């Protein structure tokens, strides 16, 4: 019951957040010097935390000759983020590769949403506190798998790809029926405490590491790197073609800020951890967080990496109608991401 109550509360809060964003949205014609950014939960958004704390967007805006006003919105799930972008409530959306591909496909020839940059390579773990679950084949109707957005989030898409390999493409969404949409903090709490219907959580850092450290029964069932064949961009930023073309100085300042933030996080993991704690208010041990950031599998690269496999899969199973010929179809042609894949 507690989980159901939490789900209802989260759904209400998400709806109210989207309504507030929509009401605050200006007229379609946006002037240079304003940028509204939607982020979600987890250390995968560290580069945005650094840019926010150090006011890097404002700094690079001045170098472009523009005073930039930066606004931040915290949402949960790719579906909510995509709706915020399409409603005009935000200018830059942060979500997984799955939501990017969904909105790219949906807006092709219209708003033409494409990727702006990756926020880095992070392994995502499907963690279970059910000792009987060793592989995804062991989940039953009694289990529930928490993901940010069922059938849309990158976690859900990676789970679908793994399911297709196990049961065939016609059953790619077999585990969607036992998946539930839940923000990472709530899902982590359920895995750690046990005793709820949530027995699996396909999360992201640092929530997955918290689960593994706090609950002796918590274990990794699946890693996104294993499914995707190596390090891959899990979380990306995207925008409409209109925002990019009508706000070139603001757009360049944002990308320059991301570049500086990536260099900072790579060179100063301890200070980056301090920034994450300060900006998010997360109640985590500093040393624990530094260890997560220092994980050799974590790479703060802005170029999208290893995203096309998921794009091909989503088209193959009909999740997107348009077939991209390469990753360049769903990312803007920018120098920042020129070496992507």
- Whether 248 shows a pLDDT value over 90: the answer reads yes
- Whether 24 shows a pLDDT value over 70: the answer reads no
More confident residue, 7 or 196: 196
- Whether 5 shows a pLDDT value over 50: the answer reads no
Check residue 183 and give its pLDDT: 93
Residue 69 phi/psi, 5-degree rounding, is -95, 125
Check residue 78 and give its pLDDT: 83
Check residue 31 and give its pLDDT: 67
- Whether 58 shows a pLDDT value over 60: the answer reads yes
Encoded tokens for 268: 């100063």
Check residue 26 and give its pLDDT: 47
Contact indicator for 40, 148 with CB cutoff of 8 Å: yes
Q: What is the pLDDT of residues 139-158, one digit of tens each?
A: 999 999 999 989 988 999 99
CA-to-CA dists, residue 203 to 3, 35, 50, 322, angstroms? 17, 28, 22, 28
Nearest to 220 by CA among 319, 106, 126: 126
pTM for the whole structure: 0.85
Nearest to 94 by CA among 279, 271, 237: 237
Give percent above pLDDT 90 in the chain: 85
pLDDT band, residue 298 (cuts 50/70/90): very high
pLDDT band, residue 185 (cuts 50/70/90): very high
Mean pLDDT, all residues of the chain: 91
Distance CA 38, CA 235 (A): 12
- Whether 95 shows a pLDDT value over 70: the answer reads yes
pLDDT band, residue 79 (cuts 50/70/90): confident
- Whether 7 shows a pLDDT value over 80: the answer reads no
Check residue 28 and give its pLDDT: 45
Average confidence (pLDDT) over 66-78:
93
Nearest to 70 by CA among 258, 317, 273: 258
Contact indicator for 78, 154 with CB cutoff of 8 Å: yes
Average confidence (pLDDT) over 74-90:
92
Q: Which residue has tokens 């992507």? A: 340
Give percent above pLDDT 70 in the chain: 91
- Whether 162 shows a pLDDT value over 80: the answer reads yes
């Amino acid at each position: 019951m507690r989980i159901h109550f939490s789900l209802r509360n989260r759904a209400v809060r998400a709806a109210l957040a989207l309504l507030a964003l929509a009401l605050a949205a200006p007229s379609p014609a946006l002037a240079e010097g304003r940028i509204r950014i939607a982020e979600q939960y987890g250390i995968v958004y560290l580069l945005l935390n650094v840019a926010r704390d150090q006011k890097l967007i404002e700094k690079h805006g001045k170098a472009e000759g523009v005073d930039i006003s930066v606004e931040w919105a915290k949402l949960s799930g790719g579906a909510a983020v995509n709706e915020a972008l399409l409603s005009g409530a935000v200018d830059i959306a942060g979500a997984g590769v799955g939501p990017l591909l969904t909105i790219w496909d949906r807006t092709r020839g219209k708003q033409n949403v494409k990727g702006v940059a990756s926020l880095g390579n992070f392994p995502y773990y499907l963690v279970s506190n059910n000792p009987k679950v060793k592989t995804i084949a062991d989940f039953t109707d009694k289990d529930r798998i928490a993901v940010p957005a069922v059938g849309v989030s990158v976690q859900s898409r990676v789970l679908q790809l793994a399911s297709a390999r196990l049961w065939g493409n016609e059953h790619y969404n077999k585990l969607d029926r036992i998946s539930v949409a839940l923000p990472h903090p709530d899902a982590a709490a359920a895995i750690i405490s046990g005793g709820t219907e949530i027995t699996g959580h396909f999360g992201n850092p640092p929530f997955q590491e918290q689960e593994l450290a706090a609950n002796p029964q918590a274990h990794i069932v699946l890693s996104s790197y294993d499914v995707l064949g190596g390090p891959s961009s899990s979380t990306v930023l995207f925008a409409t073609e209109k925002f990019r073309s009508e706000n070139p100085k603001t757009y360049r300042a944002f990308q320059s800020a991301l570049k500086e933030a990536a260099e900072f996080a790579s060179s100063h993991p301890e200070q980056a951890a301090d920034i994450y704690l300060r900006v998010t208010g997360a109640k985590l041990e500093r040393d624990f967080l530094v260890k997560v950031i220092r994980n050799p599998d974590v790479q703060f690269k802005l170029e999208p990496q290893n995203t096309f496999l998921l794009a091909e899969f989503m088209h193959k199973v009909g999740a997107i109608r348009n077939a991209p010929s390469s990753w360049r179809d769903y990312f803007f042609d920018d120098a920042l991401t020129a070496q992507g894949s």
